[in-house]
A and B are shown apart, each in its own frame.
Chain A
């Protein structure tokens, strides 16, 4: 299990041993060693004592990408756009988004996560404090690459950015290197994007298609400033609000992954979401397919099972069989001492195994891996 040490506000992740890497890549220790030898990826070794391999987090994603490239005879698959969303706070959207993004990248998929919540919790969970200024970073010795300078709004052509439109390359962060998930971070000013979309609506300019157009043009290489054609998965993490940013992301998405926390309000939120999707379908003949992930699941609690019955009967086609059980590992992972999603922090935990199974099931449903 990797441990972390804090130097000022800089977090240094201790290296992973081969067992942890094998667990993360769902393979054996020997296979990992063989992949390292075959791929030529440079992995550090312990300086004193036994020369144990010490993998950096970047090494793991490099191996994942190497394995995917080797396995796939036809590497170009269609791009999938998904939004993690529930119109209800505290159901685990951000945790699910950061872990799914990480797990997708561990499958070797080129993954872009876009934080659409101005609270920027996803951004923070991947090691970027959106409030950190350039001066504070210099004073505390934090790399300038950790500063959040652009958010998703700055990537839209019509967003009035102070220095002109930012490019995707300006905005993206690579918390775990090139092969890991990439992130378009958020900050407090992202809510201005919603203001702009509302303004456009009041001006009668139909803002609903602005985000979908950006995503389509990015995927089709029609927009030099926002070229997302290299990504296999684009994953939006939407705020619980039913705002225009979320609406745009949903319309751009093929799937909406909705965590449900197995209680009444959360179940009701599925109904609200269904109404939003139905309205979207009526207006555009398009809406993302709903995939429901049971979160904080506890099979030993009768009230939870009651909600399960309701959801599985009402939303049978959308319910994902793999659920994520309630675990103390989740709150512990948010203790502020690390910038790693739970699957990387505790690869051998039950929670990580369930997240991995959930990611596999989602990828299968999204047509990204074969059954």
Chain B
């Protein structure tokens, strides 16, 4: 090829070269060809292989030893297998919230693999032969969901009849597996203290936390179940410091709906404790100026055809009686009116079936008393 030929000519020449001409000494492997399985088929095949690999449910070496030990009916360090029907959750298990998703996750893991950790159990003092679950209740529910007949367990030492002792032991074991949320801790601590099963000082000492932490953590117990469920679902946004700021809402009897609305705001706007505090401050200012809610029903009061006032009722139970035409409103009438309202108010609170008659009876009585006075 002439030196002055263009690049395009050279490219054409390259393209037309004999494919068999030596070009490179580099070995180049090529991708596989042929039929390919779908992902579903690959996973199904893998599951089949796993199934056929063992005719018994798969258990690890430690569990296998434990199964052998079952015949001896003596508990040992590696645990044993116990019928699931003989186990039951204990009221003072340290964990309160157990999301279904977590149970499903563990069930999937057990189904596809094995039970990785034994349940810790203690004898039920009232029913010999039955056991309470000290640690591993989520695994228990997962095994139940899988309709397994037995569970791998180890025997633990705790007094199932002593709420505080059981709780502290359950806490130490359960917290080691997956951390117990602050919300669950707060709820149970408050119950222990309210039930006089433990003092705040003992809770602090047993769990190596400061007494101040205990007193703040029990703020969680002030909230209703729906609010706690929400907080638990967004646990990272509701540390005890935030719960303590929100606690006055529950103490003041605000509705769950209102509290949940604020909780949603905490999540959506990622409120820190400080931001929440300033928000609550603003909110309480706004509360004082808050316009009244609209009336549940309003009845016009008429004199002939003209409206002279209205009677309204509100959600909070308040009644409002308004008269607009007050030109003829004398002091004497003004002094009598509270008596009338008193009679009406009492009649509303009473169980009488004939409301009007009740009011009239009360007015007659008041009038009689007034004339005697």
A277 to B30, CA, bound (A): 9
Q: How many residues of B contact A (CB 8 A)?
A: 40
Output the least CB separation between B267 and chain A (Å): 12
Knowing A216-B40, A313-B19, the reply to whether A209 touches B29 (Cβ < 8 A) is: no
Interface readout for B18-42 with A: 1 if CB under 8 Å, 0 if not? 0100011011111111111111111
Residue contact B29 to A306, C-beta cutoff 8 Å: no
| Interface membership of chain A positions 292-324, coded 1 if the CB is closer than 8 angstroms to chain B and 0 otherwise | 000000011010011001100111011000000
Residue B102 is within 8 A (CB to CB) of chain A in the complex: yes
Please encode chain A, from 179 to 214, with 1 for each CB lying within 8 Å of some chain B CB and 0 for all others: 000000000000000000000000001100100110
* A274 and B11 contact, CB distance less than 8 A: no
Contacts A157-B108, A164-B178 given; does A213 touch B28 at CB 8 Å:
no
Bound complex: CA A318 to CA B24 (Å): 20
Are the C-beta atoms of A164 and B30 separated by less than 8 Å? Answer: no
- Complexed CA–CA distance, A204 and B63 (Å): 16
Which stretch, A3-11, A263-271, A333-341, touches the partner chain B?
A263-271
Q: Tell me if B346 is interfacial: C-beta within 8 Å of chain A.
A: no
Given A216-B40, A267-B26, A309–B31 Cβ distance below 8 Å?
A: no
Specify the chain A residue showing the minimal Cβ separation from B108. A157
- Flag whether A215 is at the interface (Cβ < 8 A): yes
Contacts of A209 in B (CB 8 A): 42-43, 46
Complex CA gap A286/B44 in Å reads: 13
Query: Would A277 and B31 count as touching, CB distance under 8 A?
Result: yes
Assembled-state Cα–Cα distance A281/B36 (Å): 8
Is B10 interfacial (CB-CB < 8 Å)? yes
In the complex, which residues of chain A have a beta carbon less than 8 angstroms from the beta carbon of B73? none
Shortest distance from the beta carbon of B9 to any chain A beta carbon, whole Å: 12
B262-284, CB < 8 A from A: 270
Across the interface, name the chain A residue whose C-beta is closest to B49. A206
Which residue of the partner chain A has the closest CB to B34?
A281
Give the most central of B37, B39, B45: most A CB within 10 Å. Answer: B39
User: Is there contact, CB below 8 Å, between B101 and A212?
Assistant: no
Q: Are A299 and B11 in contact (CB under 8 A)?
A: yes
How far apart sit A82 and B46, CA to CA, in the bound complex (Å)? 22
* B26 near A206: Cβ-Cβ < 8 Å: no
Within 8 Å by CB of B28, from A144, A270, A309, lies A270
B236 at the interface (CB under 8 A from A): yes
Q: Say whether A310 contacts B109, CB under 8 Å.
A: no
User: Chain B nearest CB: distance from A365 CB in Å?
Assistant: 14
Whether the pair A164, B23 counts as a contact (CB closer than 8 A) is no
Please report the C-alpha to C-alpha distance between residue A302 and residue B32 in the assembled complex, in whole angstroms. Answer: 30
CB-defined contacts of A121 to chain B, threshold 8 Å? none
Is A23 engaged at the interface, CB distance under 8 Å to the other chain?
Answer: no
- For residue B35, which residues in chain A have a CB less than 8 angstroms away from its CB? 285
Contacts of B36 in A (CB 8 A): 281, 285-287, 289
Contact call A287/B31, Cβ cutoff below 8 A: yes
A280 to B11, CA, bound (A): 37
CA distance in complex: A287, B35 (Å): 10
B105 contacts A165, C-beta separation under 8 Å: yes
Q: Is A172 an interface residue (CB 8 A)?
A: no
- A13 is an interface residue with CB less than 8 A from chain B: no
Least Cβ distance of B262 to chain A in Å? 19
> With A163-B236, A164-B102 as given contacts, are A306 and B14 in contact (CB-CB < 8 Å)?
yes
Query: Is B10 within 8 A of A284, CB to CB?
Result: no
Report A-chain residues with C-beta under 8 Å of the C-beta of B39. Answer: 212, 215-216, 252, 286
Q: Does B113 contact A (CB under 8 A)?
A: yes
Q: Are B23 and A264 in contact (CB under 8 A)?
A: no
Output the least CB separation between B177 and chain A (Å). Answer: 11
* Pick from A213, A277, A290, A310: contact of B23, CB under 8 Å: A310
Fill in one digit per residue for A205-236: 1 if any B CB lies within 8 Å of its CB, else 0: 11001001101100000001100000000000
**Does B15 sit within 8 A of A, measured CB to CB?**
yes
Whether a CB of chain A sits under 8 angstroms from the CB of B17 is yes
Closest chain B residue to A309, Cβ basis: B14
Using known A-B contacts A274-B29, A285-B42, determine if residue A302 contacts B7 with beta carbons closer than 8 Å.
yes
Q: How far is the CB of A245 from chain B (nearest CB, A)?
A: 17
Q: Tell yes or no: B235 within 8 A of A by CB.
A: yes
* Residues of chain A at the chain B interface (Cβ within 8 Å): 144, 157-158, 163-165, 205-206, 209, 212-213, 215-216, 224-225, 251-252, 264, 267-268, 270-275, 277-278, 280-282, 284-287, 289-290, 299-300, 302, 305-306, 309-310, 313-315, 317-318
Q: Return the 9 tightest CB-CB contacts between A and B, nearest first.
A: A281-B32, A274-B29, A290-B31, A286-B37, A271-B28, A274-B31, A285-B37, A271-B29, A278-B32
Instruction: Kindly list 12 other residue pairs between chains A and B, CB separation below 8 angstroms, not including A290-B31, A305-B14.
Output: A205-B113, A206-B46, A209-B42, A216-B39, A225-B101, A271-B26, A273-B31, A281-B36, A285-B35, A287-B36, A306-B23, A314-B30
B residues whose Cβ falls under 8 Å from a Cβ of A: 7, 10-11, 14-15, 17, 19, 23-24, 26-43, 45-46, 101-102, 104-105, 108-109, 113, 178, 235-236, 270
